Structure 1
Amino acid sequence: MTHERSSELQERLHRLVPGGSHTYARGSDQYPEHLTPILTHGVGARVWDVDDNEYVEYGSGLRSVTLGHGYRPVVDAVADAVARGTNFSRPTELEVLAAEDFLRTVPTAEMVKFAKNGSDATTAAVRLSRAVTGRTEIAVCAQPFFSVDDWFIGTTEMNAGISPGAVHRFPFDDAPALERILADHDIACVVMEAAGALAEPSPGYLEAVRAACDRHGTVLVFDEMITGFRWSSAGAQGVYGVTPDLSCWGKAMGNGLPVSALAGRRDLMELGGLRTDSDRVFLLSTTHGPETTGLAAFRAVVRAYETEDPVGAMERAGARLRDAVTEVAAEAGIAEHLRVLGRPSCLVFATADAGGVPSQAYRTLFLQEMLSRGVLGQSFVVSAAHTDADVDQTVDAVREAVLVYRKALEAGTTEGLLRGRPVAPALRRLAAPRRLPDLTRSHLEP
């Protein structure tokens, strides 16, 4: 493979766009040096770059593409919507139909409002919770990412220019820890994912969270950005049977088209509407939230989940990939250093050095060897479009990559094998960090 054209365009991007990309998780610092493909198009689970290299892609648009690139029913629905006009001065029939589709798909919600990105929805949920409770402090689960807005970014290392807020972090799957926060502070809302890429809730945990929020008059908000349409079409709440007061959706809703949603209880959502005697909440008001292409894409996605089994396809492909990669790593004698973790539809890989310590350098070495063999991905997150042939090609690439990985382990260093600097966490204070923290969550996208 050659990457001359990609390298040239990446350098041009750095001159034109801060960070060289529009999403930190897509940045060149997240990939091996000089192996930063600039893509032209994708079909199914495969993508091509400007140097005409072909890859099996994982992560699928930061988990937003569950049906595969160029999925024809979505393409046709969007093309039809564009031809009929995309934005108007009054609501369209499509808004009614899309809302009905959503509330049928997520029966635990009573009202929905659409927007364009996940941060719109999560920030609206926080604002609404503060208005409902009259409180300002919030509790946020110690999970990777919830919003680009100040209330969350202020809790990260990358907090320059942000006023500090009263945000309390609590560990996932630890009900007593959350109970202590709710008892000691006036918390407006609890914001969390019901499950994470690396963690399923223990039996009874989500029920305990629901009960604690009820006892303390706190609004429970589930972030369903990743779990929605990946755990099930009804999200994590549809799998675990615990209903939040509000939930926030995005990513796979449009199979890569921009559309998100805030959904929840009618009595809360109506405070952002016209049928209330209370002080109104500025909930969501966006020019492009109801534009027709995103809503048309969403409706086509709903049809696919009603007539096909995308979640089942992802589970099967992910399980097959996980088992095969685990076997290859074991055969190479590095099973303790290269592990595949998570739900089959949302797999990640963890890398460790010769001492068993999580290592950015070894992660970068693995990424480098996989990219060189036609596999692109910061994770092993599949889509329903991943075929047996895609998985087989990936396993073949892993089989060769682990030989290089084992050589580095035997030498006790990646020096001489890794071409360039290690990747770095996406959210960090310094552009060139003085030290490289634990890698295990660096693949999770902001």
Structure 2
Amino acid sequence: MTVARTVADVAGTFDDDEPVPVFDRSAAAQARLHELVPGGAHTYARGSDQYPEGMAPMIVRGSGARVEDLDGNTFVEYGMGLRAVTLGHGYEPVTSAVARAITEGVSFTRPTLLELRAAETFLEQVPGADMVKFAKNGSDVTTAAVKLARAATGRTRVARCASQPFFSTDDWFIGTTPMNAGTLEQERALTVGFRFNDLDSVRALLSEYPGEIACLILEPATALAEPAPGFLEGLRQLADRDGFVLIFDEMITGMRWSLHGAQDLYGVTPDLSTWGKALGNGFPISALAGRRELMELGGLRTDASRVFLLSTTHGAETAGLAAYLAVERAYRERDVVGEMERQGRTLAEAVSADIRAAGLEDHLAVAGRPSCLLFTTCGPDGEPSQEFRTLFLQELLRRGVLGQSFVVSAAHADDDIQITVDAVRGALPVYREALERGTATGSFHGRPVAPALREHSAPRQLDRAPRSSSEEKRGKQ
């Protein structure tokens, strides 16, 4: 059984005069990963099921906005590090700062001076916050925020924005998704949803569960949805009136919308906010920040029952803190957000012009905030299509572009943008041909890409490695 996508597999898909990328070594390594790591990746969004079958590159190195895979293919990458890398891969000021820090020790029995410097710097960066606690990933700090809210209010229910895709791997959130096996029903039942930009849906929850809502958590903005005038302000007023804790999830917006977060950009201060991704330019660090009276519930200076809050072995190791301090310095020395906005705008305008010229604007589009661009792929009926998404991803990959989005970094130079524009331009005739046939089936190899959070996994033969000798022996018994 082959585990690689070869030239023969795809020769009928591409023009004869254009090179066909081969992913033999990447596919073999991916099959081996499936034998050793559940899902074949450590983040579901990085899974091979998110890419055309047999075309999931295994990355060996990156520099700036470019990456190279096991087969020697090079790509312009988008959405780098799940939107965590804003300064580019291998950004020297960050890697040098980390190297200096780790040569002097990474983890000790007491706090380090880096913890003090990072806390002081972060609280200057986020002026609405009084205290901060660092951790390693977003789920830790969002769940910690929920825990503080429940402790402070004595309430149990969590209201989360139901139209936003992800907040935590913990039961209070993941239990509300289709991928809820292993979560507790009693925990799922305590999470309720409201709609973004719909204050009436929040008021309805407060009426349905009077005095029960401990917190309301949402991203203050997303790539495709800016807050309507008065929406965030209305949430702040409702929180002050009802007594629930208002939590802004700034994992994506923090340091991509603004150095100071969306809360500063829109002028609304939450009670708590959670940060991650761009804080470390790919190094693992996240943060929970907020009002002193809430944060101190997890500290020593309180007469209330203490909250066991983010007590982690690696939360304040020196590499992540040094990375954050170097990233924050880069943002003060350069207009990093402005650079991302300019390059994203250039990309969106050029690609959109080509799509319009091809008459495909009803089926393919680039949308979103310039620093956080997405592309939408629709079939002949004008509805979003996983098959046509697969086809578009395939055509981008074969032309040297890797990404589930067009989310730029400040490392995307003009030539990176031009490569991407040319890749889209080359993909448009293939996309049009599939539309004219009425289906993308047959235009790509294997199964279409699938949503990352879904209840069942469809069988994918090419993701399976050949059986080991011990498995073969058991099969003969």
Give the drift of 1:432.
Answer: 1.3
Report if aligned partners of 2:387, 2:441 keep a CA contact under 8 Å in 1.
no
Counterpart of 2:399 in 1: which secondary structure? Answer: coil
CA–CA distance in 1 between the matches of 2:109 and 2:46?
35
Partner of 2:198: 174
What is residue 207 of structure 2 aligned with on the other side? 183
Question: Which residues in structure 2 correspond to 1:289-438 (within 5 Å)?
Answer: 289-432=315-458
Deviation at 1:350, TM superposition (A): 0.4
Q: Which runs of 5+ in 1 are unaligned?
A: 434-446
Letter in 2 for 1:305: Y
Letter in 1 for 2:184: S
Matching residue's letter, 1:21: A
Partner of 2:127: 107
Q: In structure 2, which of residues 34, 41, 58 is the aligned counterpart of residue 14 of structure 1? A: 34
2:78 maps to which residue? 58
User: 2:183 maps to which residue?
Assistant: 162
1:183, distance to aligned residue in structure 2 (A)? 2.4
List 4+ stretches of structure 1 deviating above 2 A: none
CA distance in 1, matches of 2:177, 2:443: 33
For residue 58 of structure 2, the aligned residue among 38, 47, 54 is 38
| Distance in 2 between residues matched to 1:351 and 1:341, nearest whole Å | 11
Contact map agreement 1:147 1:153 (CA 8 A) in 2: yes
* CA distance in 2: counterparts of 1:158 and 1:28, whole angstroms: 17
Is residue 151–residue 167 contact of structure 1 (8 Å, CA) maintained in 2? yes
CA offsets 1:318-348 (integer angstroms, 9 cap, x no match): 0000111111111111011101111000000
CA distance in 2: counterparts of 1:310 and 1:40, whole angstroms: 26
The equivalent position to 1:67 in structure 2, one of 83, 87, 93, is 87
Q: State the partner residue of 2:294.
A: 268
Alignment partner of 2:375: what SS? Answer: strand
Which amino acid in the other structure matches residue 174 of structure 1?
Answer: D
One-letter code aligned to 2:55 = L
**Secondary structure of 1:48's match?**
strand
**Matched residue SS, 1:178:** helix
| Equivalent in the alignment of 1:286 | 312
Distance (Å, rounded) in 1 between the aligned partners of 2:208 and 2:158: 12
Shift of residue 215, structure 1, vs aligned partner: 1.0
Structure 2 Cα separation of the partners of residues 268 and 424 of structure 1: 40
Q: Distance in 2 between matches of 1:123 and 1:344?
A: 30
The CA distance in 2 between the partners of 1:235 and 1:360, in whole Å, is: 33
- Under a length normalisation based on structure 1, what TM-score does the superposition of the two structures give? 0.96
* Equivalent pair of 1:228/1:234 in contact (CA under 8 Å): yes
Tell me the secondary structure at the aligned position of residue 225 of structure 1. Answer: coil
* 3-state DSSP of counterpart to 1:201: coil
Q: Render the CA deviation track for 1:240-280: whole Å, top value 9, x for unaligned.
A: 01000000000110000000000000011011101111111
Unaligned runs of 5+ in 2: 1-20, 460-477
Counterparts of 2:157 and 2:383 in 1: how far apart (Å)? Answer: 36
Q: Which amino acid aligns with 2:117?
A: L
Q: Distance in 1 between matches of 2:206 and 2:119?
A: 34
SS in 1 for 2:442: coil
Measured in 1, the distance between the counterparts of 2:381 and 2:167 equals: 33
**Alignment partners' CA distance in 1, 2:244 and 2:441:** 52
What corresponds to 1:132 in structure 2? 152
1:196 matched to 2:222? The reply is yes
* Residue-pair matches, total: 434
| Residue 415 (structure 1) shift | 2.4
Q: Which has the larger radius of gyration?
A: 2
Aligned residues of 1:131 and 1:281 also touching (Cα < 8 A): yes
- Amino acid of the residue matched to residue 363 of structure 1? R
Q: Cα deviation per residue 1:81-135 (whole Å; 9 max; x = unaligned)?
A: 1101000000000000000010011111110000000001000000000000000
Provide the identity percentage: 64
Between the aligned partners of 2:208 and 2:35, the Cα distance in structure 1 is: 49
Structure 1 residue 416 displacement after superposition: 2.5
1:436 paired residue number: none
Q: Which amino acid aligns with 1:319?
A: R
Q: Given residue 330 of structure 1, which amino acid in structure 2 is its aligned partner?
A: R
| Cα pair 2:157 2:191 within 8 Å, conserved | yes
Amino acid at match of 1:181: L
- State the match for 1:444 in structure 2: none
Amino acid at match of 1:331: A
* Residue 214 of structure 1, CA deviation: 1.1
Q: Distance in 1 between matches of 2:49 and 2:442?
A: 20
Give yes or no for contact 1:255–1:301 (8 Å, CA) kept in 2.
Answer: yes
Shift of 1:419: 1.8
